[in-house]
Amino acid sequence: MTDFGVFFGRADQLLDPGFRGEPDIRSVEPASATVPVFDLGLLRGDGVFEATTIVDDVPLAWHLHVRRLAQSAAALDLPAPNLPAVEAFVHAAIRLMGPTAHAHLKLVITRGADATLSAVSVPTEPTVFAIVDPAFGRKSPEIAIATLERELLRDSAQRAPWLLLGAKTLSYAANMAARREFERRGAQNAVFVTRDGYVLEGPQASVALREGDRVVTPHPRIGILHGTTQIELFAWAALSGLEIGYEDIAVERLLSADRVWMMGASFVQSVTAVDGRPIAHDLADADVVNAFMQTERAAIDAWTRAHVPG
């Protein structure tokens, strides 16, 4: 049996801005780790999450993840996470796992059961738990991608914040459907594109282009997650003397770029083809970035702390 870890936290500590001290953590046997059927995370996909890679007991770029977790919670009008307490909770989970060379960590915060259900004796405060998966597999270094219509326009996220376009929520059914669609097309990933022809993101990954000495990625205001690995890529690029930029990227530029990369979990994949059309690519270039991401954590953390607002 794979040695998963499941750890529950307390909303009255992790989501209380006034809480100080070490948060409680409860390790639960994976086979019996459950949430009530009344949890709105289940019934409504109403919750947020973050996921990262753990390397040698360190959750990579965790400060970027908690920053985005707070943004996602705000978008959903959930209580604000107490970030030091959440960070302490995650480190406690890693300690309880025992020495962990390489694993995947997911942290979930749901809205909890409908408040009108308190009569059912089900707790109605938010549910907070973490899953640690030490069997997390490596992704393919080279991939062909498909473009998939997301049908929004490039200003949609600004016009309709209730669509939660920049929040990392549990409502991922369409992302899962998009995965099945790119698999049907024989691709290994996809990028969504707006109706007016701009690049967004993958169903579970960010995308960036290298064009000459510039590395560019879609601006988060277009309605995408601000990818933590994308920020780490920018750290590599900036520290390597390249220009970096957030901008609206017309989909045609995927075909003319010198390199197209997709990324997540501190790993960059080299894109070899878009919708069946081969594009310029070189696995060695992605290998350079991935080697940097593995070995230069201190430099990445320093750069990202200095260059990311909030």
Chain center to CA of 254: 22
Q: Which is nearer to its own copies, 194 or 290 (CB)?
A: 194
291 contact partners, CB below 8 Å, separation of at least 6 = none
Binder to its own copies among 66, 103, 152, 268 (CB under 8 A)?
152
Pick the binder of its own copies from 13, 14, 25, 41 (CB under 8 A). 41
User: What minimum distance in Å lies between the beta carbon of 168 and its own copies?
Assistant: 10
Asked if residue 106 binds its own copies (CB under 8 A), the reply is yes
Query: From the list 10, 150, 210, 226, which residue makes contact with its own copies (rule: CB under 8 A)?
Result: 150
Token reading at 237: 């690029």
Q: Which stretch binds its own copies (CB under 8 A): 30-38, 210-218, 258-266, 301-309?
A: 30-38
Shortest Cβ 10–its own copies spacing (Å)? 16
34 or 277, CB closer to its own copies? 34
Contact region with its own copies (CB under 8 A), list: 43-51, 236-244, 251-259, 272-280: 43-51
Taking each helix axis as running N to C, give the angle between helix 228-239 and helix 297-307, from 0 to 180 degrees, rounded to the nearest 10. Answer: 100
Dihedral sign, CA of 236, 267, 171, 121?
Answer: negative
101 or 119: whose CB is closer to its own copies?
119
* Dihedral sign (CA 171, 176, 179, 185): negative
Among 60, 61, 66, 75, contact with its own copies (rule: CB under 8 A): 75
What one-character-per-residue DSSP string does 150-217 give? ----TTHHHH-GGG-TTS-BS--HHHHHHHHHHHHTT-SEEEEE-TTSBB---SS-EEEEEETTEEEE
| Closest residue by Cα to residue 225 from 248, 244, 207 | 207
Shortest Å, Cβ 228 to its own copies: 19
Near its own copies by CB under 8 A: residue from 175, 245, 246, 272: 175
Burial of 255 (0-12, 13-18, 19+ CB in 10 A): middle
Q: Which two tokens stand for residue 109?
A: 């915060």
Residues written for the chain = 310
The footprint of its own copies (CB under 8 A) covers 1-2, 4, 6, 30-31, 33-47, 49, 75-77, 106, 108, 110, 117, 119-122, 129, 131, 135, 148-153, 156, 159-164, 167, 169-178, 180-181, 195
